[in-house]
Amino acid sequence: MRFRGSPALRRSALGLLASLSVLLTGCATLPQNPLDPKGPVAEAQTGLLMTSLWVATVIGAVVTVLLVIVVLRFRAKPGQTEVPKQIHGSTKLEILWTAIPIAILVAIAIPTVQANFATMGRIENPDMTVKVVGHQWWFEFQYPEKSVTTANELVIPVGKKVAVELVSDDVIHSFWVPQLAGKTDVIPNRLNHMWLQANEEGLYYGQCAEFCGDSHAKMRFRVRVVSDQAYTAWVETRLAQQKGLPAATDADIAAGRALFEGQTKVKNSAGKEIPKVNCASCHAIDGTTAKGKTAPNLSNVGDRNTVAAGILENYGPDGKFDAALQAANLKKWIRNPVSFKPGTVMPSHPESKLSDTELDQIVKYLQSLNK
Amino acid sequence: MATVAAKTLGFLPRPTSKTGFWSWVTTVDHKRIGIMYLITAFLMFLVGGTEAWAIRIQLIRPDNDFVSAQTFNALFTMHATTMIFMAIMPLLAGFMNFLLPLQIGARDVAFPRLNAFSYWSYLFGAIFLNSSWFWLSEKGVPDTGWFSYANLTSLKFSGGLGPDFWTVGILLLGTGTLVSGFNFIVTILNMRAPGMTLMKMPIFTWTTFITSIMIIFAFPAITVALLMLLFDRQFAANFFNVESGASVVFWQHLFWTFGHPEVYILILPAMGIISEVLPSFSRKTLFGYNVMVISTAAIGFMGFTVWSHHMFAVGMGPIVNTVFGITTMAISIPTGVKIFNWLSTMWGGQVKFTTAMLFAVGFIMLFTIGGLSGFMHALPASDAQQTDTYFIVAHIHYVLIGGSIFAIMSGLYYWFPKMFGRMLDEKLGQWNFWVMFVGFNLFAFPFHFLGLMGMPRRIYTYSSNMGWDFWNLVSTIGVFVLAAGITLFLVNFGKTMSKKMDAPADPWDARSLEWTIPSPPPEHNFDKVPTVAALDDFWYQKYPDEHHKDLVRPATPVDAHGIHMPGASWMPMFLGLFNTVAGVGIMMHSTVVLAIGLVGTFLAIVGWAFEGDGGYHIEVEGGH
């Protein structure tokens, strides 16, 4: 069952509101705007929202007009001494303004029930399934049918019904991509279900919508919607990488990988050999010895549009990917993560711990993971 | 008038001072307790307002660093907790305390000492919770939200004292509230003036009655939840322990079983105030009194059937969500009836725009906006886009400031002469209203836009490319204007209190019993127990019409011993204090402090039971 309200009316209403909001914000773009839906789930939800907004606006206008009439017409006039007629009520009127709201509510309940069943819960016959796992403060995305895992940037094909399963690894979060689908909570010990579908290719903004501790504000993500072919190719690349990441020909990249995997050793004060750094104890990279599970999987980190769960964007205002910007983002993040994401468990790496050269090498390695 | 001491039966003497600081500490007079509630709660309102101001400064521009993430989270947690439990509820409790006995023609509430205990529980609970700012322990201020969803509140994710402060604090505050609920119900059912049947009670008394019933059903749910959380954190219980297989959604059901009735607890008495003010300044009786009573009761009942609409995103599925969506939509019916009845009350009247009336008319406007956005969240599929965004923030501020606070301001201007014997300055009052009205809308209306532009709640910062800069700036400017409006009230209060007491008994030509006695009322309220023959009895005594000419009035009861007044007592204050000490002991894991608290609590109860009768009689000329 799908939402059946008049699509033309809905579109024009949405267009009007979207342009109004653009006007109101001084022509700024609104990347996370639920009033600009790009998929059937968000369209049904926002369509209902707009219907109810119009109903509310009309009722509000009626009350306002009545209030203004009362205030203007029945002001006490100077010299008025007679006692106004004490009216105790009017059964007719009171039945009337009980019945009219009931009629309005019944009318609005019909599309509401339709939209509820169209958008909520498990979907029959999805084209594919992804699993969202919430962590403080990042999202893990698994493709159970393909045994692929990624983080903070969900890649899906355009026009496909995507069933989404959601569960949390720690506290409650909420998964929200305003232009594709409203919120579904991501809860520990509970597998939730929703679905989404994108009509157009593009990069969609998402954000955690349930307060989840210190860096709740910084728990963001993107949904990258690509063509069917591009999606298939992306999955093939993931599966190929899982068979083994080829050794780098570039010396810097190889050095960066060694650092990442904890193979570059130094002596500690007791004279014992310890890894210089060991990113792999928390992070995983497919096809390498990095198998950490507690932090985002970085197998395709060089290919992602953001660093640090949607916070630092690797593209300029024109929306074009910028490798130099990505390198700078990765560096400032690795140097001092807590300044971007208070409370994060990722340790900071000051120069005393990681020289500029070594940091460059790690970043080059990460940027090489761009397929 | 002569005062005669009654004989003392118990062995502990009771305090007898009638003036000075200690007479206020030991008072059991509902009027004094009401005033203490109002003043304390207004101070807490300023504390919560300061927290709001800090929140708005942080959000004035993107990537701001006025406060840290953790401080911001503590600020919004304490802002909501303060405003709900320590400002709005006790402000309304202040009105209930002061007015309830006066409106029903009684000389006090049914249990005067319990009434004092409610206040002291509130005061010490409020001091306790707010002291968390000054303990300076790591993560010491509650920062898990006023809803404090499990399992963010577990020791694993919130190791500091924050959730302990919150749990114990709300338990202390809730104790006082529950006691008040019982006290008011008993008072209303047993102590009405002769002839005042339930359907002749003033409407504010009715809303107090329904609210009290809601309190005694709603608060046990949160009390249970809080004790579970306390046990989880202090004694390693597993109620919300995910590792042991607990369902964290269980907390949400318990919390909102309390939490949704709570919002009606915050708004029904406010509606009661409006329903008193509008008739007085329209010179007309309340339109549809019977329907207003029934709709209040209906809202009170339906308020318990809608809690899961706070949880539409939890994944309960379309069937459950649809059921709760429909029950929620249904609650807008009695609410809408009220709005139209208020409009009809003014229709055909002689509307006089005193400050109290301006706030009441402002209430109708703003509460309608808040109610309509509330109706929008009732549609589950639409709510999926609205929940946890600033659209909800807009809604709650329209119902709680535009609704509750505007009604409270209206009530303050209206009953101030009765409480303090002085009339607040009307000229300053008009400024007060308009600055608050403009400031509030500037502050809260942009939240609608921000929500529809996708800004989530409870985020301590945002990026500049999200398009949210402009309306956040406007809102922060608004908060300064709103603060200026509230400052005008403080100025007015200060100015008025320095004047001499000259308010007449019935300055507004009003309708209920509290206006038949001097301003401020004597300690025994009524020289002669009033008798009631009709709704708005006092009005028809002044302006008899054909329906109210020859009303048959019950006989005034005669008490040969004069007016009996209850004695003052130290025990309510001690009981509230030592309860709080015990709470501190639990939180600090200190056996010594806990023991002091429990022994003190026990002694206070013993003292309560065995202190002397201590009442006294007042002889009034021609009275009784």
Nearest neighbour of A189 by CB, restricted to B246, B288, B313: B246
pLDDT at B382 over 90: yes
Nearest neighbour of A87 by CB, restricted to B322, B348, B462: B348
Q: Report, as an integer, the average pLDDT of B538-543.
A: 92
Looking at CA atoms only, how far is residue B345 from chain A in angstroms? 8
* Better pLDDT: B23 or B15: B23
* A141 phi and psi angles, rounded to 5 deg: -120, 120
Structure tokens at B451: 């929500």
Q: How far apart are CA B452 and CA B455, in angstroms?
A: 7
Looking at CA atoms only, how far is residue B569 from chain A in angstroms? 45
Say if the ipTM goes beyond 0.85.
yes
Q: How far apart are CA A351 and CA B121, in angstroms?
A: 55
Look-up of token digits 């009052």: B429
Q: Outline where DSSP puts E strands in A181-262.
A: 181-186, 192-196, 202-207, 220-226
Nearest neighbour of A116 by CB, restricted to B381, B388, B462: B381
Is B368's CB within 8 Å of A45's CB?
no
Residues B201-234: tens digit of each pLDDT: 999 999 999 999 999 999 999 999 999 999 999 9
Amino acid making up residue A150: T
Q: Say how many CA atoms lie within 13 Å of A249 toward its Cβ.
A: 0
What pLDDT is stored for residue B137 in this prediction? 77
What pLDDT is stored for residue A4 in this prediction? 42
Nearest neighbour of A89 by CB, restricted to B290, B376, B462: B290
Indicate the helix (H) or strand (E) that contains B56. helix B30-58
- Chain B contact for A29 (CB, 8 A cutoff): yes
Chains A, B: CB pairs < 8 Å: 304
Mutate to test the interface with B, among A14, A93, A214 (most CBs of B within 10 A): A214
* Residue length of chain A: 371
Looking at CA atoms only, how far is residue B210 from chain A in angstroms? 21
Nearest neighbour of B466 by CB, restricted to A32, A136, A342: A32
> In a 3-state reduction of DSSP, which class is residue A166?
strand
Is B382's CB within 8 Å of A48's CB?
yes
Amino acid making up residue B137: S
What pLDDT is stored for residue B613 in this prediction? 74
Angle at B507 between CA B493 and CA B39, to 5 degrees: 30
In chain A, residues 105-144 whose CB comes closer than 8 Å to chain B: 105, 108-109, 112-113, 115-121, 136
pLDDT at A13 over 60: no
- Chain B contact for A327 (CB, 8 A cutoff): no
Residues A83-122: tens digit of each pLDDT: 898 888 889 999 998 999 999 999 999 999 999 999 998 9
Judge contact between B263 and B302, C-beta under 8 A.
no
Q: How far apart are CA A180 and CA A177, in angstroms?
A: 5
Burial of A339 (0-12, 13-18, 19+ CB in 10 A): exposed
Neighbours of B159 (CB within 10 A): 11
Sign of CA dihedral B530, B532, B535, B536: negative
Q: Which of B460, B456, B406, B464 is nearest to B435 (CA)?
A: B406
In chain A, residues 159-198 whose CB comes closer than 8 Å to chain B: 166, 170-172, 174, 176, 178, 181-185, 187-190, 192-194
Residue of B nearest to A208 (CA): B456
**Which residues in chain A are closer than 8 Å to B368, comparing Cβ atoms?**
60, 63-64
**Which residues in chain A are closer than 8 Å to B372, comparing Cβ atoms?**
56-57, 59-60
Is B152's CB within 8 Å of A171's CB?
yes
Rounded to the nearest integer, the mean pLDDT of chain B is 94
Per DSSP, helices labelled H in B347-400 are 355-377, 380-386, 390-397
What is the pTM for the complete model shown? 0.94
**Which residues in chain B are closer than 8 Å to A211, comparing Cβ atoms?**
73, 144-145, 149, 152, 388, 457-458
Q: How far apart are CA B299 and CA B292, in angstroms?
A: 10
* B492 phi and psi angles, rounded to 5 deg: -60, -45
Structure tokens at A128: 């594919």
Q: How far apart are CA B283 and CA B290, in angstroms?
A: 19
Nearest neighbour of B376 by CB, restricted to A49, A119, A216: A49
Amino acid making up residue A293: K
Residues B26-52: tens digit of each pLDDT: 999 999 999 999 999 999 999 999 999
**Which residues in chain A are closer than 8 Å to B453, comparing Cβ atoms?**
21, 25, 30, 32-33, 35
pLDDT at B563 over 90: no
Q: How far apart are CA A359 and CA A327, in angstroms?
A: 10
What pLDDT is stored for residue A289 in this prediction? 94
What pLDDT is stored for residue B386 in this prediction? 95
Looking at CA atoms only, how far is residue A10 from chain B in angstroms? 14
Angle at B246 between CA B244 and CA B247, to 5 degrees: 155
Nearest neighbour of B151 by CB, restricted to A59, A112, A171: A171
Neighbours of B349 (CB within 10 A): 24
Q: Which of B591, B583, B588 is nearest to B140 (CA)?
A: B588
Angle at A116 between CA A111 and CA A121, to 5 degrees: 160
Find the radius of gyration of the CA atoms of chain B: 25
Q: How far apart are CA A143 and CA A164, in angstroms?
A: 10
- Chain B contact for A271 (CB, 8 A cutoff): no
pLDDT at B600 over 90: yes
**Which residues in chain A are closer than 8 Å to B382, comparing Cβ atoms?**
45-46, 48-49, 52, 112, 115
Is B382's CB within 8 Å of A94's CB?
no
Amino acid making up residue A323: A
Neighbours of B281 (CB within 10 A): 26
**Which residues in chain A are closer than 8 Å to B243, comparing Cβ atoms?**
none
Task: Label residue A5 by pLDDT band (50, 70, 90).
Answer: very low
Structure tokens at B407: 């009604």
Per DSSP, helices labelled H in chain A are 7-24, 40-73, 91-119, 228-242, 251-260, 323-335, 337-340, 356-368
- What percent of chain A is helix, strand and coil (3-state, nearest 5)? 40, 20, 40
Q: Which of B436, B451, B313 is nearest to B394 (CA)?
A: B451
Residues B510-523: tens digit of each pLDDT: 999 999 999 999 99
**Which residues in chain B are closer than 8 Å to A343, comparing Cβ atoms?**
69-70
Residues A329-346: tens digit of each pLDDT: 999 999 999 999 999 999
Structure tokens at B215: 């309190």
Amino acid making up residue B447: F
Task: Label residue B139 by pLDDT band (50, 70, 90).
Answer: confident
**Which residues in chain A are closer than 8 Å to B284, comparing Cβ atoms?**
84-87
Q: How far apart are CA B571 and CA B14, in angstroms?
A: 10
Is A75's CB within 8 Å of B69's CB?
no
Find the radius of gyration of the CA atoms of chain A: 27
Pairing of strands A128-135, A162-168: parallel
Q: Which of B263, B204, B270 is nearest to B405 (CA)?
A: B270
pLDDT at A26 over 70: no
**Which residues in chain B are closer than 8 Å to A17, comparing Cβ atoms?**
452
Q: How far apart are CA B62 and CA B607, in angstroms?
A: 58
Q: For residue B565, list its beta bridge partners.
A: B616
- Cβ-proximal residues to B499 (8 Å cutoff; 6+ apart), any chain: B422
pLDDT at B147 over 80: yes
Mutate to test the interface with A, among B369, B379, B471 (most CBs of A within 10 A): B379
Is A182's CB within 8 Å of B385's CB?
yes
**Which residues in chain B are closer than 8 Å to A203, comparing Cβ atoms?**
none
What pLDDT is stored for residue B1 in this prediction? 42
Task: Label residue A14 by pLDDT band (50, 70, 90).
Answer: low
Is A87's CB within 8 Å of B284's CB?
yes
Residue of A nearest to B143 (CA): A213
Q: How far apart are CA B275 and CA B244, in angstroms?
A: 51
Q: Report, as an integer, the average pLDDT of B423-428.
A: 96
> In a 3-state reduction of DSSP, which class is residue A138?
strand
- Chain B contact for A46 (CB, 8 A cutoff): yes
Amino acid making up residue A95: I
